[in-house]
């Protein structure tokens, strides 16, 4: 980390960027590319890769200066999988060539990413995955299998993929990690219609997909270790998102409470107060978790935040529907649409209630995350696992 880069230096570089590329007269993509090249994308990343090798805490200095200048951002919600999962994994395990090739268009938003991890028979027990990657004589890989619950696959250019490369090893040790080209003719993306009527998720069929060995992340057979970096970052990005006070799901129900006093009862008042306090505690805990990231990679604490996020969303949306009575049961549009991202804003209470049911499944089921918190945060004994040393091919499926 560079000791010469402090808040004054970061602010100076930001002002230089704005002077050379005025947001009012510079195209959005051109401005974002210039910002990346100036090291102001991720200030804690290495120089030449969108950063300045500076403390992560200085990012907020950059963001504040650019927001004050009305500079465009990179639409982080649209490219959240790339920013929150693919980028830290590429930074941690990618070759220099991979970092140079993928990080800039990822951050600028020119290339959307998705995550090919879960399978129909390997969700909570992800290490049991059956998608196979076989290496040919030329060193490249051929992948066959099926993935499921893949957000943004229908708009993605690239995917982070884990596949089994050695069925003779125990399930955690025979996995490798790849970057998959979603435009390969062997990639078939099909929509999964959800309870809301939307199809933001997908199932992805991989048939003879060719992946060059240069698109492998980490050593062969160590994909599970690489995947842990992705998963820990995923849970922090879901459960530790920066939101303002009364942001997120607590906002709409608080607004309804203030604007429509006729809906109030003593019971809903008490429940709203309790959930408001819990939402605020979760928000402040998320701030602390982000501060912890300054010291290094996210740890298992992110699983606890994701657990809290899922439970709160479901309880708050349930209260909102109750508060609205018959009106809360209305949900007017079952048209199957293919959104690029989940958008709770501007939607009705019925949508929020239905969509929140997925929060305890996506990004790691609550049951799995409870185990992680118990074992890795609280230090409780691990559950007995009789299959850890058994070759994957010999496991019953």
Q: List, by residue number, the catalytic residues.
A: 234
Structure tokens at 286: 């998320």
Give the whole-angstrom CA distance, residue 301 versus residue 164.
Answer: 28
DSSP 244: -
Q: How many CB atoms lie within 10 A of CB 207?
A: 14
> 3-class secondary structure for 282-331?
HHHHHHHHHHHHHHCCCCCHHHHHHHHHHHHHHHHHHHHHHHHHHHHHCC
Give the whole-angstrom CA distance, residue 219 versus residue 213.
Answer: 10
Who contacts 264 (Cβ-Cβ below 8 Å, separation ≥6)? Answer: 257
**120 beta partners:** none
Q: How far apart are the first and last CA of the chain?
A: 48
Give the H/E segment covering residue 66: helix 59-68
Quote the distance between the C-alpha of residue 240 and its chain's center. Answer: 10
For the residues of 317-374, what is the DSSP string, one character each?
HHHHHHHHGGGGG----------SS---TT--HHHHHHHGGGGGTTTS-HHHHHHHII
Give the whole-angstrom CA distance, residue 201 versus residue 154.
Answer: 9
What is the sign, positive or negative, of the torsion defined by CA atoms of 372, 373, 378, 384?
negative
Q: Which of 163, 174, 126 is nearest to 141 (CA)?
A: 163
Distances (CA, A) of 162 to 79, 123, 325: 20, 13, 45
What backbone torsions phi and psi does residue 119 show, to the nearest 5 degrees? -135, 165
CA-based R_g, the chain, Å: 22
Query: At which residue do the structure tokens 């008490």 appear?
Result: 270
């Amino acid at each position: 980390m560079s000791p010469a880069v402090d808040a004054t230096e970061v602010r100076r570089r930001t002002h230089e960027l704005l002077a050379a590329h005025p947001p009012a007269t510079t195209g959005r993509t051109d401005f974002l590319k210039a910002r990346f090249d100036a090291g102001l994308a991720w200030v804690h990343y290495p120089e030449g890769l969108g950063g300045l090798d500076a403390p992560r805490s200085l990012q907020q200095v950059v963001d504040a200066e650019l927001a004050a200048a009305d500079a465009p951002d990179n639409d982080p919600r649209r490219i959240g999988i790339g920013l929150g999962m693919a980028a830290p994994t590429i930074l941690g395990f990618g070759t220099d060539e991979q970092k140079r090739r993928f990080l800039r268009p990822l951050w600028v938003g020119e290339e959307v990413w998705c995550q090919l991890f879960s399978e129909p028979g390997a969700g909570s027990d992800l290490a049991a995955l059956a998608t196979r990657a076989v290496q040919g004589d030329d060193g490249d890989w051929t992948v066959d299998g099926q993935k499921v619950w893949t957000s943004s696959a229908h708009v993605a250019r690239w995917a982070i993929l884990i596949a089994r490369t050695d069925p003779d090893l125990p399930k955690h040790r025979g996995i490798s990690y790849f970057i998959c080209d979603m435009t390969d003719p062997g990639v078939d993306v099909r929509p999964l219609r959800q309870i809301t009527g939307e199809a933001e998720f997908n199932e992805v069929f991989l048939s003879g997909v060719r992946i060059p060995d240069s698109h492998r992340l980490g050593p062969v057979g160590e994909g599970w270790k690489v995947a842990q970096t992705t998963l820990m970052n995923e849970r922090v990005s879901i459960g530790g998102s920066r939101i303002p006070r009364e942001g997120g799901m607590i906002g709409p129900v608080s607004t309804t409470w203030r604007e429509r006093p006729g809906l109030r009862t003593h019971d809903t008042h008490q429940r709203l107060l309790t959930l408001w306090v819990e939402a605020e505690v979760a928000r402040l805990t998320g701030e602390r978790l982000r501060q912890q990231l300054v010291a290094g990679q996210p740890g298992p604490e992110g699983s606890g935040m994701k657990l809290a996020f899922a439970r709160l969303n479901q309880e708050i949306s349930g209260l909102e529907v109750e508060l609205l009575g018959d009106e809360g049961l209305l949900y007017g549009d079952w048209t199957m649409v293919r959104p690029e991202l989940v958008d709770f804003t501007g939607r009705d209470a019925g949508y929020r209630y239905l969509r929140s049911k997925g929060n305890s499944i996506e990004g790691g089921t609550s049951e799995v995350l409870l185990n992680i918190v118990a074992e890795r945060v609280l230090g409780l004994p691990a559950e007995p696992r009789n299959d850890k040393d058994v070759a994957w091919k010999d496991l019953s499926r």
